[in-house]
Amino acid sequence: MRAAVNTLTPENKPVQPRSIEHIQRPVTIHARNETTQAGVFLEKHFTSSQRIRRASQVWAIMWLLALASAFIPIAHFLLVPVFVIAGPTLGYLRYQQQHIPQAVEGQCPSCQQHFRLPLDQRTTLPYRDVCPHCDKHLQIRALDHDA
């Protein structure tokens, strides 16, 4: 099996995969008693076909688990209906997911250093984090929320 390797152009610049679009949303970065800085909120955007594929995958996994749990005595009375219902439910929820937060990038208002903070999939704006350089508390807000 081939290991996943980042594709590099002759100029050694990473190539973004064409199937996945990345979206950058402007944000403001606040720290107590400091000048607000601008930053970007990076999200992975899924196309319609990617959303269908992602939804189908989770649906198939749930129904395979339902099939597998049918062979477990007694527990199958609970597990089979739970996995059968979870398939379309989780599939629908996954289909609804158009963006996945990836990272926040910007300059710390306190120490002026550039940072990139990886984000959890469920992160929504506004959110709080800590500067990786100076440990100062930061609040990241969507730009349109400040208006």
Interacting residue ranges for Zn ion, rule: CB under 5 A: 108, 110-111, 131, 133-134
Nearer to Zn ion, 66 or 119 (CB): 119
- The minimum distance between CB 32 and Zn ion, in angstroms, equals 12
3-state secondary structure 9-75: CCCCCECCCCCCEEEEEEEEEECCCCCCEEEEEEEEECCHHHHHHHHHHHHHHHHHHHHHHCCCCCC
Nearer to Zn ion, 61 or 111 (CB): 111
Nearer to Zn ion, 81 or 132 (CB): 132
- The minimum distance between CB 108 and Zn ion, in angstroms, equals 3
Question: For the chain, first and last CA: distance in Å?
Answer: 52
- The minimum distance between CB 40 and Zn ion, in angstroms, equals 17
